[in-house]
């Protein structure tokens, strides 16, 4: 089944890539598609990327205590907000005193 490129900008990009690769447009498009699929497949899932961020920003030693789902549900929002504020160096808007006892800048 042939691929027809009917968008002029896409066609120009394919010609440009083919010229730099010194190949045909078909080979250039094929390689570009393969590269993009490989890049997507190599990319870590969001859960894994967030885990790495969390581990870098908020290292914590295991306590050996068990916590229920409700505990983790309430904690995850706070950890995410802390990590994003810390990682991007921006103040955090919050109410209550929880974040006031951390090193996060108060955005109020």
- Every domain of the chain and the residues it spans: 8-42, 46-101
Specify whether the CB–CB gap between 40 and 30 falls below 8 A.
no
pTM: 0.42
* Mean per-residue pLDDT, 18-35: 94
18 vs 78, higher pLDDT = 18
Quick check: 4 pLDDT over 80?
yes
Torsion, Cα of 47, 49, 54, 60 (10° steps): 80
Q: How would you class 13 by CB atoms within 10 Å of its CB: exposed for 0-12, middle for 13-18, buried for 19 or more? A: middle
62 vs 43, higher pLDDT = 43
44 vs 75, higher pLDDT = 44
Of the candidates 87, 79, 86, the residue with the CA atom closest to the CA atom of residue 105:
86
Quick check: 47 pLDDT over 80?
yes
> Residue 28 and residue 10: Cα distance in Å, rounded?
12
């Amino acid at each position: 089944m042939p691929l027809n490129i009917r968008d002029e900008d896409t066609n120009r990009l394919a010609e440009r890539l083919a010229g730099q690769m010194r190949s045909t447009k078909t080979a250039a498009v094929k390689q570009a598609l393969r590269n993009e699929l490989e890049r997507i497949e190599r990319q870590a899932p969001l859960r894994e990327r967030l885990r790495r961020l969390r581990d870098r920003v908020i290292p914590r030693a295991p306590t050996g205590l068990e916590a229920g789902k409700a505990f983790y549900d309430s904690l995850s929002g706070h950890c995410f907000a802390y990590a994003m504020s810390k990682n991007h160096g921006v103040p955090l808007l919050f109410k209550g005193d929880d974040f006031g006892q951390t090193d996060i800048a108060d955005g109020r």
